[in-house]
Structure 1
Amino acid sequence: MRRGQYPAAAGGRQNGPECEAGGAGSGGTPEDEVLGALPSTTRDGVPVVVKRSHRRRRTVSAAWRDGTAVISIPGHFTRTQEQLWVRRMLEKLQARPAGAGAPRSDEELLRRSLDLSRRFLGGQARPASIRWVSNQNGRWGSATPARGTIRISDKIGGMPAWVVDYVILHELAHLLEAGHGPRFWQLLAGYPQLERAKAFLEGAAYAMGRGLGDDPLDGDPDDGEPAEPGAGDPANRGPVPAR
């Protein structure tokens, strides 16, 4: 898949790093302090979910989970305390990108791909191999269905976990459907962060200042793999490497 498609990814691991703060009960804020409405998304547009628990007394925690930023607070918190601690914990959480939980080895990558296949593809996609590569300059990932092999660009390693998961899923789906027709997208329809991840990667490609490549082939001349069927889809095009 070229960097224009996914059109140009939720670690990674589905659940990322967690932050925790103790003693929240004594670190409140005056009731008359105006903090404004709670943020509904992070700076990167990831949905924010606030969970109240009456079993929690003083501990506040934040974690990346299933493509969302989850903030857990004690059930007795006032609205003002909730606003204060949600903002504090979001700042801490955003300092630890969701992508920090991305699989670091090929073995971890394989385990993650099998888990994603089980959860979203009924376990039908089972790659013969999946590995990180550093020589894919025009795509986030690529697959060779005939061989059952998948290559994931190490350039996505620092992206949010839900984006990395989308890239892995996209390539897994190619093992079942080579092109980008209706059946291909139907395979991915169950992934809750599908459209968000595609938009994230589009923005990432644009931010790199390289535009969309003109080469319709999805095979990367650097990795010696043949072109993938359906590669002419604009979703598989990516930024042209800087010269």
Structure 2
Amino acid sequence: MGNGAPKLVPAIGHRPPRSGELQTMSPFRSPRNTQPRNTQPRHTEPQLPSEMPEVIVQRSARRKKTVSAHFSGESVILAVPQSATRREVEQWKTTLVPKIVAKRERAQRNARRRSTDDGLWRMAQELSANYLDGKARPTEVKWSSRQNTRWGSATPSTGVIRISTRLATVPDWVLETVVLHELVHLLEAHHNDRFWSLARRHPKANDAAQFLDGVAWADANPRGGPAATV
């Protein structure tokens, strides 16, 4: 991050989280009905996923009552108690599996929505206005596939910010803290007290640091590879 600055401590930056480990939250982000009010209770059907994946049922003698589902590749692993009946398994397939599939589809749609340079630029403008009184004025904010060991970079002399494309699927609040980190570098090149007082204005700054530290350790250690830094 410019001028030989030390690595981020506590790190907003190591290796990006894997797909499927995400949660979403963002602080930035009808005409009145003139028809007579319907006194009947409203029931909204949940939006079903477009396609259902293969479901692999795994029975466990250690499970007594709990049931869980998660993706493994393109299949869903449904973990159930050993004593579960076929009827119970079918019921869980029709209730639990669609929810996890729909959740992943929503995450993918959100990732596509913000994966453009325009979306990243708008996020940077909002962050600067909300946390830096609009004083950080980048000239360019773009995704970069060349950020292999960093989450992002900022060049104060040109106002150019680059964010690693590996962050395209992390939660909004994690991406926001990294973008804000780079915006602050346009005002302060070094990781000094002034820098951290500005970068930590984001309410999720500490949570994001812990999030990225945890997934970075899990991702880097099996291969022994380097962790990404900001």
After TM superposition, the score normalised by the length of structure 1 is: 0.52
Pick one of 194, 207, 217 that aligns with 2:205. 194
Q: Of 154, 158, 182, which aligns to 1:147?
A: 158
Residues 15-62 of structure 1 show CA distances to partners (whole Å, capped at 9, x for unaligned) of xxxxxxxxxxxxxxxxxxxxxxxxxxxx75778xxxxxxxx8434889
CA distance in structure 1 between the aligned counterparts of 2:112 and 2:210, rounded to whole angstroms: 21
Specify the alignment match of 1:208 in structure 2: 219
After the TM superposition, which of the residue ranges 111-120 and 202-211 deviates more from structure 2?
Answer: 202-211
In structure 1, the residue matched to 2:50 is: none
Distance 1:6 1:106 in 2: 21
- Higher-Rg member (1/2): 2
Structure-to-structure mapping, 1:71-86, within 5 angstroms: none
Whether 2:116 is the aligned partner of 1:127: answer: no
Identity of aligned residues (%): 38
Distance 1:46 1:159, change over 3 A: closer
**Paired letter, 1:206:** W
Task: Mark the CA change 1:60 to 1:171 in structure 2 (over 3 Å): closer, same or farther.
Answer: farther
Residue 14 of structure 2, aligned match among 5, 8, 27? 8
2:106 is paired with a residue of what secondary structure?
Answer: coil
Distance 1:140 1:116 in 2: 17
Distance in 1 (alpha carbons) for counterparts of 2:24 and 2:162 = 26
Give the aligned partner of residue 217 of structure 1: none
1:96 aligns with 2:106: yes
* Cα distance change on mapping 1:110 and 1:45 into 2, 3 Å: closer
Task: Give the whole-Å Cα distance in 2 for the aligned partners of 1:91 and 1:170.
Answer: 33
Contact 1:3 1:202 (8 Å CA) reproduced? no
Is the 2:24–2:172 Cα contact (8 Å) retained in structure 1? no
**Partner deviation per Cα, 1:185-235 (whole Å, 9 max, x = no partner):** 11123211111111121123223225674xxxxxxxxxxxxxxxxxxxxxx
> Is 2:13–2:151's contact at 8 Å kept on the other side of the alignment?
no
Unmatched 5+ stretches in structure 2: 2-6, 16-20, 26-40, 48-94
Look up the equivalent residue of 1:163 and give its one-letter code: V
Going from structure 1 to structure 2, the CA distance change for 1:61 and 1:161 (only over 3 Å counts) comes to: farther
TM-score by length of 2: 0.55
Count of matched residue pairs = 156
> Residues 3 and 138 of structure 1 are in contact (CA less than 8 Å); yes or no, is this contact kept in structure 2?
no
Q: How does 1:156-235 map to 2 (within 5 A)?
A: 156-209=167-220, 213=226
Segments of structure 1 that go 5 or more residues without pairing to the other structure are 10-42, 48-55, 63-84, 214-236
